[in-house]
Amino acid sequence: MKSYLRHFIDGQWTESDGGNLHAVINPATEQPCTEITLGSAADVDKAVAAARKAFDNFSRTSVDERIALLAAIIAEYKARSDDIAEAIATEMGCPISMARTAQVGSGIGHLEAAIAALRQFSFEERIGGNKVIHEPVGVVALITPWNWPMNQITAKVAPALAAGNTMILKPSEEAPGCAAIFAEVMAKAGVPAGVFNLVQGDGLGVGTALSAHPGVDMVSFTGSTRAGIMVAKAAADTVKRVHQELGGKAPNIILEGASLERAVPGGLMAVLINSGQSCIAPTRMLVHGSQYGEAVAIARQVMQATETGDPLTEGRHIGPLVNKAQFDKVQGLIAKAMAEGGKLESGGPGRPDGVETGYFVKPTLFSNITNDMTIAREEIFGPVVTMMPYDSDEEAIQIANDTNYGLSAMVSGDPAKAKAFVPRLRAGMVYVNTGNPDPAVPFGGYKQSGNGREYGKYGLAEFMEVKSVIGEVA
């Protein structure tokens, strides 16, 4: 079992001041695989003090110095990529083949995108005879989830560092190992003491302490909408900036006349990747009534052919869900869909046949779902897809927008026809004929999917304050 019992504070691995031991459970075996110490308010105080002390010097470093530092981080990150992938596969169940590529690779992408954004960013501009200056926010708290751990860590750390801020990272207690390795990467790369601090912990403890801390100038949070609301409330008394990327309930509108052999498998794969544990997963598949029956038949075949398996074994299978709570939630949603009248096309309750251990869920498909059913309203975060028919473009748009979320949407079919749908979909991102997030393109949503944007120059700007200099300036 791996042990990461200390926090990384002020450039040193530091014993916790009053924290509690926490065992991480391997979701494939249901056995402990990692142990950490859940931090305390005293640990948070130490980390914030270190970040505040480091801010004055680091905020005045040059763009070239920060680019060089990011390049050094990339080099050390690549050297530890196998260790990071193994930690992700073991702790949250992502198959090792995908952990080595998409999971680890996303971190490299964000670090490189931060360098590109930093090279192009205009820190000063003239408006008439006056000047506008972009400056670092200060001390920022970064609270990240378990589903794409290095993606979300680097999507925050890289722009925060590029902007000249100092920071405290609280990763998910479900996937802490890769964050501890990342702290080792930061130290080896020569990040100055206090600029990057890591405090392991849970949301109610460390997350709340960081959000409410008067010494923290900004909190950037990725996670559920429920938890995001709690973060915002905790931060309200200190009027700090709160930047959030929250839940999603993405629709996938398959346009009338689309090639179903292309559109249906593509949409399903966008859900099945990472066992459905992605906030942008297009779990609501909308198909024109004239093609609905054929689409359901194709989808059934794809879902039935999808295998589950050991995350540490190479292959194209999907892994388990992250923990028992998530397994129980998804099982409850499957049962609720059946009780409310959804037609089960494949999968269903329980583990896959022959599997007795691990939080594995059968790849599950429902047809005849209506948008008022529970499974069509709540974020699933599992390998479960619902299919709904529509009769007109207007009805498809109405169904797609009928959700509290607005993170992303997908349109599958003729790109020329899809063009008319894009401005009418109330989502921060629209994928046309699938596609992957681009670390240079803004990531974020409308409505209860959060506020602000991450990635590239937009993510860099989120970690900046704007100052007006009015009058006689050289």
Structure tokens at 121: 């960013």
pLDDT surpasses 80 at 300 = yes
pLDDT value of residue 472: 75
pLDDT value of residue 340: 98
What are 123-176's pLDDT values in tens digits? Answer: 999 999 899 999 999 999 999 999 999 999 999 999 999 999 999 999 999 999
- Contact between 288 and 252 (Cβ < 8 Å): no
Q: What is the mean pLDDT of residues 3-18?
A: 98
Structure tokens at 466: 């704007």
What are 326-350's pLDDT values in tens digits? Answer: 999 999 999 999 999 999 999 999 9
pLDDT surpasses 90 at 395 = yes
Closest CA to 203 of 228, 181, 177: 228
- Contact between 187 and 8 (Cβ < 8 Å): yes
| Partners of 430 in the β-ladder | 409
CA distance 440 to 431: 15
Which SS3 state, helix, strand or coil, does residue 462 take?
A: helix
pLDDT value of residue 435: 82
Q: At what angle do helices 177-188 and 149-163 cross, to 10 degrees?
A: 30
Average pLDDT, the chain: 97
Residue 160: CA count within 13 A, CB half-sphere: 29
Structure tokens at 35: 């142990």
Q: Of 3.90.1200.10, 3.40.50.300, 3.40.309.10, 2.60.40.10, which CATH number belongs to 251-438?
A: 3.40.309.10
- Which uninterrupted H or E stretch holds 176? none
Q: What is the mean pLDDT of residues 418-425?
A: 97
CA distance 311 to 85: 11
Cβ contacts of 431 within 8 Å, gap of 6 or more: 270, 280, 282, 408, 409, 410, 411
Start-to-end CA span in the chain (Å): 60
Q: What percent of the chain has pLDDT above 90?
A: 98
- Contact between 263 and 230 (Cβ < 8 Å): no
For the chain, the residue count is: 474
Q: What is the mean pLDDT of residues 288-296?
A: 98
Residue 239: CA count within 13 A, CB half-sphere: 0
Cβ contacts of 64 within 8 Å, gap of 6 or more: none
pLDDT value of residue 473: 66
- Taking the alpha carbons of 308, 311, 316, 321 in that order, is the dihedral positive or negative? positive
pLDDT value of residue 434: 79
pLDDT value of residue 42: 98
User: 2-246+449-469: CATH homologous superfamily?
Assistant: Aldehyde Dehydrogenase; Chain A, domain 1 (3.40.605.10)
CA distance 395 to 287: 11
Instruction: List where CATH 3.40.605.10 sits in the chain.
Output: 2-246+449-469
CA distance 383 to 365: 9
pLDDT surpasses 70 at 474 = no
CA distance 197 to 435: 34
What are 217-275's pLDDT values in tens digits? Answer: 999 999 999 999 999 999 999 999 999 999 999 999 999 999 999 999 999 999 999 99
Q: What is the mean pLDDT of residues 373-388?
A: 98
CA distance 299 to 305: 10
R_g of the chain computed on alpha carbons: 23
CA distance 366 to 280: 19
CA-CA-CA-CA dihedral for 88, 94, 97, 101, to nearest 10: -60
Count of CB atoms situated within 10 Å of the CB of 469: 11
Catalytic residues, by residue number, are: 245, 279
What are 38-81's pLDDT values in tens digits? Answer: 999 999 999 999 999 999 999 999 999 999 999 999 999 999 99
Instruction: List where CATH 3.40.309.10 sits in the chain.
Output: 251-438
